[in-house]
Amino acid sequence: GVDTPALWAADVGNSWRTKGDIRDNWNSMMFNIDINNDLAEEAGPGGWNDPGSNKAPLLIGCDVTNMSAATLATLTNPEVIAVNQDPLGVQGKKVAFASSKLPNISTEIVVANCSTSSKIEPKRLQWTYNSQDGTIRSALNGRCLSINNCSTVEGATIVLSECHINDSQTQCQGKNQQWTVGIADQTIVSQMNGMCLNFNLQHGPNIDAHTCDEQDYQQWLWNATDGT
Domain ranges of the chain: 5-98, 102-218
Topology annotation, domain 102-218 = Trefoil (Acidic Fibroblast Growth Factor, subunit A) (2.80.10)
Cα separation, 119 vs 113, whole angstroms: 10
pLDDT tens profile 73-120: 988 888 877 766 666 777 777 765 544 444 455 676 777 767 655 566
- State the burial class of residue 174 (Cβ atoms within 10 Å of its Cβ: 0-12, 13-18, 19+): buried
pLDDT of residue 118: 57
Q: Which residue has the higher pLDDT, 18 or 64?
A: 64
pTM (predicted TM-score): 0.58
Residue at 87: amino acid letter? P
Element (H, E) at 74: helix 69-75
Residue 43 pLDDT class (50, 70, 90 cuts): confident
Peptide bond before residue 205 is cis, with ω within 30 degrees of 0: yes
Contact 17, 204 (CB under 8 A): no
Residue 211 pLDDT class (50, 70, 90 cuts): very high
pLDDT of residue 101: 43
Cα 153 to its chain centre, rounded Å, is 20
pLDDT tens profile 166-178: 888 888 999 999 9
Cα separation, 5 vs 155, whole angstroms: 25
Q: Tell me: pLDDT of 156 over 60.
A: yes
CA dihedral 63→61→58→73, nearest 10 degrees, is 50
Q: Tell me: pLDDT of 222 over 90.
A: no
